[in-house]
Structure 1
Amino acid sequence: MRSTAGAEGGDPVARDEYGDRRVAITGIGVVAPGDPGRKAFWELMTAGRSATRPISLFDASRFRSQIAAECDFDPIAAGLSRQQVRKWDRTTQIAMTATGEALEDSGIAGEADPLRTGAMVGTACGMTISLDSEYAVVSDEGAHWLVDQAHAAPYLYDYFVPSSMAAEIALAAEALGPVGVISSGCTSGIDVLGHAASLIEDGSADVMVAGASDAAISPITVACFDAIKATSPRNDSPETASRPFDRTRDGFVLGEGAAMLVLEEERHARRRGAHIYARVAAHASRCNAYHMTGLRSDGAEMADAIRAALDRARLDPSAVDYVNAHGSSTTQNDRHETAAYKASLGHHAYRTPVSSIKSMIGHSLGAICALEVAACALAIEHSVVPPTANLHHRDPECDLDYVPLTAREQPLSTVLSVASGFGGFQSAMILTKPN
């Protein structure tokens, strides 16, 4: 049983019928491929448009895969100062921009005790672009093994440690409570939100500003995925390259982005009249302890994470109205998670719409799951299931309802979002409609 005490001298904490503190999403901030902002993100999702294009952030002509889903992000236009642009890596720039939108959306400023407010950020790759470019400077484009640190930027240490991003988010949120970083590869975005929600549930905080950011479209990242042939080489048709569950798929499309959410103890939110998008009902994660990039075909570990999340939320599988898939657009993953849905949801899996927004915004590594949770909250808010773009020829081994091409209007009370990452990480989160 979790503690029933709130902050010393404060109001007693809210409990539902099971004795748990409930977690509400009261603010959403997004920088995603295409135009930045929560509204533009949702419009792209519901229109089924792709933001994938030839890489413009560097010369990618030497690489096998030369396409990516880039954010149309201008830091000055987004309100950052030139000093902030100089100091912050692109990963931090988009995280801070998303944080600002989330805080404004929630109206939390001045409404929360700083000692009961925390900040958590997830990232798979940290400050890749700045580390890549700074190494080129100190090594004279790789000419010298013994580098000259005298030429390094004064913020090189900040680029080296992802905790610098969490510190900046805490400063923006005036958070004096729990602050930290989660880096669990491609499940980072969902795991950080799950951890932040647990801090609220167990009484360690009333408000958490949490989410994930990755901006890793750089030569080193593209080379890494080229080496294992994980990304699509469909350079002549970038907008159709990400095609989850389609039998013609040939790899995922690298992306970038950030999503930050304001999570709040529900009675705290209602007391101040905050708008609630959804509740975070449960989170669970598993690992297959099997292979760095390989997945077991039966999807057992993902299925167990889904079952654990449903059990924790005290929900029957038949309650799930929509599944936001990992849907990376690789044959191995698409078949793995299809098997997981059948194992965890039973026959209800055949009646449940499943879709992948990676078909439109690519795979932004650690950030994508936070973007997907944001999409789930907006789906509940608007009663719309986003489509799977580019799905024209369904893989016969993927025989569920993947909402091809066109968004679908449908009331949503319970949404499942899943994530799968290199190393065998499997995570699931349940969002529910607020009363």
Structure 2
Amino acid sequence: MSRRAVITGVGVVAPGGGDRESFWSLLVAGRSATRRISLFDPSGFRSQVGAEVDFDGRASGLTSQEVRRLDRAAQFALVATREALADSGVFDGPPPGSVDPARVGVSIGSAVGNTTRLEEEYMVLSDDGRRWLVDHTYGVPHLYEYMVPSTFAAEVAREVTAEGPCTLVSTGCTSGLDAVGHGAQLIAEGSADVVLAGATDAPLSPITAACFDAIKATTARNDDPEHASRPFDRDRAGFVLGEGAAVLVLEEAGAARARGAHVYADLVGFASRSNAYHMTGLRKDGREMAEAIRVALDQARLDPTDVDYVNAHGSGTKQNDRHETAAFKRSLGEHAYRVPVSSIKSMVGHSLGAIGAIEVAACALALDRQVVPPTANLRGRDPECDLDYVPLVAREHRMDAVLSVGSGFGGFQSAMLLARPGRVPVDAGPG
């Protein structure tokens, strides 16, 4: 019997709003959450703007001990997990519960792990960088956990007493998309019945800012933070670094519908490819991303003309925007000129490994509510980016299938297809 994963719970911690509904309100309003960085003094950096989350762990329900122990990104993940679980109600069945812990999995993505706490602890151990040989006696008891990004997945697993497969996916900026794809595959292959899948990153720190300054990937448009993230715009000048998390409850479709769960979307196709070309460079023809899209369409048994909306990677760099525009034309043909395409990074920035999961959450909400989020700040389109990028204003639009794509340093290219419940044959889907 074929098995498919569906989304029954959505939890989001994102810039401009600390929960799912605040996040969605920001998107449909076309409002940007980018501003001058306040988490550290950015005055010495080329790029001084970011998309920060207004976040207080205690106000979000974490204990004082959890706040003390956990990196900012881990805190995001736990808060998003709890919102997704409350939304889904998957564990609300009668005692002793309807889900065997051994059938519950976790798949969490992250690009840069516990960056915030690692940098803070290095500064303490090195006496603010004065000592080449650090003094380990000043280290906190949890220092080892900060060295190991897999602690994110372990924390989520403990939160839900998940005893099934538990995985940390780290594939750069496609980590979130790949983690959700892996979670869907765990359900399809029968390794789990419920998977907490998503991603988290909190990279707004001096070390990360310095890394992206060095390659001039982030914007230097510091005088106008709100309009600094401008995907597909002729005046774009690089991406805006962000932070956040999204966690989704994935369930086996038959079980979810049998319990009467609200299903946001069916996960009907997923594929990932590598360009084996360059750590940060992209080929102009978009061949690798186009191939990932083609395979995802084949899994879903969909024609390119069945795609009703494309959630673009849309980072706001000339290289990426032109690359994926070419990939859409290559994979969707003439339909690429008719389908709406938009980038939510124009509003919530680029949270590295987390953004793919945040974008999947946006796609699930878009399908559920039949509204396409806009590309904010798009006022003068790049002539080489000649598709319908939904400038400035959200659009009501009938959607049965949506495509979300990601592109990451290292040459990673991923594509995922989500469909309205029951609109795609039951034996289609990633497996």
* Interval of TM-score (by shorter of Structure 1 and Structure 2): over 0.9
What's the Cα RMSD here? 0.6
Rounded to whole Å, the distance in 2 between the matches of 1:111 and 1:37 is 27
1:135 equivalent to 2:122? Answer yes
Check conservation: 1:119, 1:173, Cα contact below 8 A: no
Alignment of 1:30-429 (within 5 A): 30-109=12-91, 110-429=97-416
After the TM superposition, which of the residue ranges 317-326 and 109-118 deviates more from structure 2?
109-118
Matched residues in 2 for 1:305 and 1:288: separation? Answer: 11
Structure 2 residues without counterparts, runs of 5 or longer: 92-96, 423-431
> 3-state SS of the aligned residue for 2:241?
coil
Partner of 2:429: none
How far the C-alpha of 1:204 sits from its partner, in A, is 0.6
- Between the aligned partners of 2:320 and 2:155, the Cα distance in structure 1 is 35
TM-superposed CA distance for 1:111, in Å, is 3.2
AA partner of residue 118 (structure 2) = L
C-alpha distance in 2, partners of 1:312/1:271?
A: 25
For residues 46 and 137 of structure 1, the distance between their equivalents in structure 2, rounded to whole angstroms, comes to: 43
CA distance in 1, matches of 2:365, 2:99: 24
Q: Assess if the C-alpha contact under 8 Å between 1:392 and 1:404 holds in 2.
A: yes
Q: CA deviation at 1:146?
A: 1.1
CA distance in 1, matches of 2:252, 2:47: 44
Give CA-to-partner distance per residue, 1:202-261, whole Å, 9 cap, x none. 101100001000001000000000000000011110000000000000000000000000
Amino acid corresponding to residue 112 of structure 2 in structure 1: C
- How far, CA to CA, are the matches of 2:328 and 2:127 in structure 1? 51
Number of aligned positions between the proteins: 417
Partner of 1:25: 7
Task: Give per-residue Cα distances to partners, 1:366-400, cap 9 Å, x unaligned.
Answer: 00000000000000000000000000000000000
Distance 1:278 1:169 in 2: 22
What do the CA deviations read for 1:159-218 (whole angstroms, capped 9, x no partner)?
110111111100111211110100000000000110110010010110000100000100
Q: Shift in Å at residue 282 of structure 1?
A: 1.1
Aligned to 2:426: none
Tell me, in whole angstroms, the C-alpha distance in 1 between the residues paired with 2:99 and 2:368: 24
Deviation of 1:268 after TM superposition, in Å, equals 0.9
In the alignment, the residues of structure 2 paired with residue 298 and residue 111 of structure 1 have an alpha-carbon distance, to the nearest angstrom, of: 49
Helix, strand or coil: the match of 1:259?
strand
Indicate the percent of aligned positions where both proteins have the same amino acid.
66
TM-score, length-scaled by structure 2: 0.96
Q: TM-score, normalised by structure 1?
A: 0.95
Q: 2-side partners of 1:22 and 1:180: how far apart? A: 19
Contact 1:111 1:272 in 2 (8 A): no
1:11 matched residue in structure 2: none
Once the two structures are superposed, what CA deviation does each residue of 1:298-317 show, in whole Å capped at 9, x if it has no partner? 00000000001001111110
Moved over 3 A (4+): none
